[in-house]
């Protein structure tokens, strides 16, 4: 993974029009992917797609998005999201697709690079308190499963 700051800047400038922002959630720590969220930056538009296990989280549904992208923007995706997607959906992410990991970018700038610190630095607010954040995606997924199961029984 390149650590040269100019590499990251040039990468973004070159491919920003053909980029996607990516985040995944898992069903349990180390468990399978429960959700893939993809935001496609467009001038004046917010275009976000969510792919949920058991609904539309299938390789065929996401393939075109990755095929048309030239850059993935993520936070700590280089070490977690990308390997997890490659494990569960082999061949989905083209080998030549560039990755801009904001965690590594902040580290290269010698900035504090925890997600919470960066959120505070850039004024990005979370709806939950710090004490409620740990494992919130897994808790929400389990709640979804309970509610889905309950609605099937009725």
- How far is it, in rounded angstroms, from Cα 34 to Cα 32? 6
Q: Is the pLDDT of residue 14 over 70?
A: yes
Number of structural domains, the chain?
A: 1
Q: What is the pLDDT of residue 122?
A: 55
Of the two residues 9 and 5, the one the predictor is more confident about is 9
Domain residues for the domain of 72 are 5-126
Question: In the numeric block, which tokens belong to residue 117?
Answer: 């610190």
Could you tell me the CATH number of the domain that includes residue 34? 3.30.420.10
pLDDT, one tens digit per residue, over 71-117 is 998 888 898 999 999 999 999 999 889 998 888 877 777 776 566 66
- Asked if residue 59 is part of any domain, the answer here is yes
- Asked if residue 72 is part of any domain, the answer here is yes
Closest by CA position to 22, among listed 8, 11, 9, 33: 33
Closest by CA position to 143, among listed 25, 27, 56: 27
- Asked if residue 147 is part of any domain, the answer here is no
Q: What is the pLDDT of residue 27?
A: 81
What's the whole-number mean pLDDT along residues 123-137?
A: 54
pTM of the model: 0.73
Alpha helices in 29-80 (DSSP H): 59-68
């Amino acid at each position: 993974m390149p650590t040269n700051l100019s590499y990251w800047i040039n990468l973004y400038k070159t491919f920003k029009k053909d980029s996607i922002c990516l985040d995944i959630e898992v069903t349990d720590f180390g468990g399978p992917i429960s959700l893939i969220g993809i935001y496609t930056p467009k001038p004046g538009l917010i275009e976000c797609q969510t792919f949920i296990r058991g609904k539309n989280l299938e390789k065929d549904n996401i393939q075109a998005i990755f095929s048309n992208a030239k850059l993935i923007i993520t936070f700590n995706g280089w070490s977690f999201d990308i390997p997890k997607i490659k494990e569960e959906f082999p061949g989905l992410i083209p080998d030549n697709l560039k990755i801009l990991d904001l965690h590594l970018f902040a580290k290269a700038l010698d900035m504090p690079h925890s997600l919470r610190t960066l959120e505070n630095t850039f004024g990005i607010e979370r709806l939950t308190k710090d004490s409620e954040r740990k494992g919130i995606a897994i808790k929400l997924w389990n709640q979804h499963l309970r509610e889905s199961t309950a609605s099937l029984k009725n």
